[in-house]
Amino acid sequence: MIQFVNAKINLGLSVVGRRADGYHLLETCFMPVGLYNGSPDNPEPFCDILELSDGHAAPLSASDTVHDGDGIRFIFSGRHIDCAPEKNLVVRAASAFAAEYRRRQGRAISDDLGFLTLSMVKMIPDGAGLGGGSADATFTLRLLNERSGGLLTADELEALAVGLGADCPVFVRNRPVFAEGIGEVFSEVDSPGLTQLLEEHYWLALVKPDLHISTREAFAGLHPRRPVVSLRDAVRRPIEEWRGCVRNDFEESLFPLYPELPRLKESLYASGALYASMTGSGAALYGIFAEREAARAALSAAAPPYSALIRL
């Protein structure tokens, strides 16, 4: 069983309040990106790759990271993941699913399925605001759920996923949604601009400087407030009207600290982006283009350490 794991971007992000437990209250529009990765139209590598197989496989390379737990062998390759294997979101997701399986079935998942190997090739950069780690975690839940015969419904998978991270549940159904709360309360998006993106297949020029912005640092400079124009109303406008009204609040706190970020954003606009923004809490930015070659030219002009051309 193989899954190509896509990422997400945020079409706007407003931090509107803070709960008593310290979690910030958000409004954002999540949009999956990378759904066409590997197709003839979009062959550039971008997505992570997860493979679930029976038995305990051996690593293919001495550089692979191996971890065993809950009857599952994990093999990690590709981009380096800067955390102990047991703290990796893929391992934590598998442990959460194994615990839920035992709670429901009264036995270990390995008692029914035998030993398993979950291999991951990491391509999506971390510290980017793309939800790569969250997507890996949720796709792990989806793979194990499918291998278990559909033990959990989509609603139950979302409830399990939110315990791993606020933006994990969006990858269960993996479609555009308007998100509120801490990012886990979903509703449909009524947006002519979003309809444009989905029906006319625009292109995303994704750029990331050599920065890793921690979540703690990103939130430190924020001052929660309601925007003058609500994000839900702003994204209802056509894409051509998003500039200036569909805003990511993290830009206000992070751009003064990292001049490379506003430079890249302006470079995307100078290359003809219809809309450009930082995604999540950074450090990746994206520009939306109507034509593939315009997006490709924008990547050449920006010349960041990391870039990707993605069909929407």
Q: Write out the catalytic residue numbers.
A: 8, 167
Q: What is the DSSP string of 91-126?
A: HHHHHHHHHHHHHHHSS-HHHHH--EEEEEEE-SPS
Q: How far apart are CA 307 and CA 122, in angstroms?
A: 15
CB 161 within 8 A of CB 138: yes
Burial class (CB in 10 A: 0-12, 13-18, 19+), 89: buried
| CB atoms inside a 10 Å sphere around CB 59 | 15
Element at 26 (helix H, strand E):
strand 24-33
Q: How far apart are CA 209 and CA 304, in angstroms?
A: 6
Report the half-sphere exposure of 299 (CA within 13 A, side-chain side): 21
Q: Measured in whole angstroms, how far is the alpha carbon of residue 67 from the centre of its chain?
A: 24
Length of the chain: 312
Q: How far apart are CA 88 and CA 68, in angstroms?
A: 12
- What is the amino acid identity at position 57? A
